[in-house]
Amino acid sequence: MKRDDYLSWDEYFMGIALLSAQRSKDSNTQVGACIVNQEHKIVSVGYNGMPTGCNDDDMPWEREGDFLNTKYPFVCHAELNAILNRSAGSLQGCSLYVTLFPCNECAKAIIQSGIREIIYYDNKYADSDATKASQRMFLLTGVTCRPYHHTERQMTLVL
């Protein structure tokens, strides 16, 4: 008999975004992203972290203080990493599963890459200007955004 409690596509791809977020060294916000093509094949994943070659232990992870002593000018966002990490092919028509609604800088990269759909898990900075700018650009360019529909499924991985 066919098993019926298998993961839906949305659960599967958001699950991979959530798992990827667990690689983040950011103690405040861990973000994961998973890019999927129209054939439901994963083409890339990413999480927020310092640029390759910038040692995590030598970089600031603070949120406040002098700008250059915070993480903000340095950290590479999960969505940008996922866009840049793909090994081959175009992202035209792809969907992005991401654990946090994209900021305006990532929105630009998302639009330029050809990604046409965003599924986001959390939108904790919904009131920020960055989010408002993203929404404006997504609306203008026809990139659809939908919140992830939580299924309340609990999963435990024994690693």
CB of 120 to Zn ion, least distance (A): 12
Q: Catalytic annotation on 105? A: no
How far apart CA 123 and CA 98 sit, in angstroms, is 10
Continuous H helices in the chain: 9-21, 78-85, 104-113, 129-141
- The two tokens of residue 146 are 């939908």
If binding is defined by CB under 6 A, does position 29 make contact with ligand 5HU?
Answer: yes
If binding is defined by CB under 6 A, does position 83 make contact with ligand 5HU?
Answer: no
Closest Cα partner for 74 from 49, 98, 110, 109?
Answer: 49
Q: Which of residues 103-142 bind Zn ion (CB under 5 A)?
A: 103, 106
34 is in an annotated binding site: no
- Provide the binding-site residues for Zn ion, judged by CB under 5 A: 77, 103, 106
Residues classed as catalytic: 79
Task: List residues forming the annotated binding site.
Answer: 77, 103, 106
Task: List residues forming the annotated binding site for Zn(2+).
Answer: 77, 103, 106
